[in-house]
Amino acid sequence: MSGQNPLKRIFDLYTSDLSYQEIERLVKKEANEVYEFFKADIPKPDQSKTKFVRGLIFIRSLFNAFLLKLTPARRIFFLISLLFFLVGYSQDNPLYIFTAYLISILLLAFELADKLTAKNELEVARKIQFDLIPKNISSIQGYDIATYYEPAREVGGDYFDVIETPERTFIIVGDISGKGIAAALYMVRVQSIIYSLIDSYSGIKDIVINLKKYFSKNLRREFFLTLTIASLEKDGTIKIARAGHPPTFHYKNRSKEMSVVNPTGMGIGLNDKGLFEQTLEELTFLPEKNDIVLFYSDGLTETMNTIRDQLGEENVKRIIKNNSDKSAEEIKRALLNAVETFRGAASQHDDITIVILKTN
């Protein structure tokens, strides 16, 4: 081992754990994410200019967008390293080029340290968020149940809960517009308000109306909340209200038909001009034996493949029908397999939440 070529040792060190999938991820997913990160700061191209000129403008705009993301001090040192490189290259001076290289490596080390620190904090936030989500629930009040939650990033803006009280069981599925840490923080607030309201109100309309009252007070203008809340009553009925959230699917085993439960309701945080309370509707239905009820966030139906086609509601309905003889957990796995197959090499672009009930 001691006689191994040093170049070979260096090559082995840098390529350890390297795989084709990792290279593919770098080229297809991470490069696209980097572009999306900088895209907001890049002006739209002027179509009156030639393709070559538009390309030069794009490169310049991308460079400026990158430069402005650096702190002022690091920006200056980056420009100094660029100047050292240009002078060293033009004068064939290896010392200047090497100095430029050292400055760039130092800046890269600083940026990497910042990223790893932020990543560690996000990992902690992810663990906390998953701790707030119900786990290991296999049955509730006459139902077989299966749940799934996966954020598109480390943390997400989807939220679901299963809250059992002596009188009834509540199922809540919510979605804050946007992704990431801001949406996740809002969702923690939603959860805390809902728990407080359930202690004070039994009617789901009252809960939603008061959630809007308390949650909207400090909600930033660019965010809004959609939500479905259902109460499973002792007599077997399900009461459901919806604040702008995707409809609930009810598969009727006796008739082999899919019903869409879609009470009227507006999202929370939108400029509803006083119409929120007037349009909020509560519906009641009675599932029969082996019926299936699906609550979900739009990350399920809007799953995209590499050509940006969406999975769609009809495909979700078809999967439920084709697996209606199976348990809630098996239906969930069938849905997730379909999502993975449909998405292919595309990245997950939105949080996905699924709650499946099947009557015993």
Q: What are phi and psi of 173, to 5 degrees?
A: -130, 125
Q: Which residues contact 102 (CB under 8 A, 6 or more apart)?
A: none
Residue labelled with tokens 């702190």: 71
SS3 content of the chain, % helix, strand, coil (to 5): 50, 20, 30
pLDDT value at 135 more than 50: yes
Q: With contact defined as beta carbons under 8 Å apart, do 207 and 201 qualify?
A: yes
Region of 312 on the Ramachandran plot (φ > 0 left; ψ -120 to 50 alpha; else beta): left
Fold held by 137-359: Phosphatase 2c; domain 1 (3.60.40)
- Give the per-residue pLDDT at 1: 47
Alpha carbons 224 and 177: distance in angstroms, whole number: 6
pTM: 0.76
Lowest-confidence region among 134-148, 197-211, 238-252: 134-148
- Give the per-residue pLDDT at 297: 95
Going from the C-alpha of 104 to that of each of 51, 94, 229, the distances in angstroms are: 32, 15, 53
Label residue 311 by pLDDT band (50, 70, 90): very high
How many other C-beta atoms lie within 10 A of the C-beta of residue 282? 18
DSSP letter (8 states) at residue 347? P
How many other C-beta atoms lie within 10 A of the C-beta of residue 262? 15
Which pair of structure tokens corresponds to residue 150? 């996966």
Alpha carbons 189 and 176: distance in angstroms, whole number: 11
Write down the domain spans for the chain.
18-127, 137-359
- Give the per-residue pLDDT at 10: 62
Alpha carbons 265 and 253: distance in angstroms, whole number: 28
CA 263 to chain centre: 25
Label residue 31 by pLDDT band (50, 70, 90): low
Max Cα separation, the chain? 87
In this structure, which long-range contacts are made by residues 116-123, counting pairs with CB atoms below 8 Å and at least 24 apart in sequence? Answer: 119/154, 122/153, 122/154, 122/155, 122/181, 123/154
Q: With contact defined as beta carbons under 8 Å apart, do 345 and 24 qualify?
A: yes
Alpha carbons 235 and 168: distance in angstroms, whole number: 10
* Segment 90-124, tens digit of pLDDT: 999 999 999 999 999 999 898 888 888 877 887 88
- Give the per-residue pLDDT at 17: 62
Label residue 87 by pLDDT band (50, 70, 90): very high
Instruction: Name the residue among 99, 214, 207 with its Cα closest to residue 163.
Output: 207
Q: With contact defined as beta carbons under 8 Å apart, do 243 and 226 qualify?
A: yes
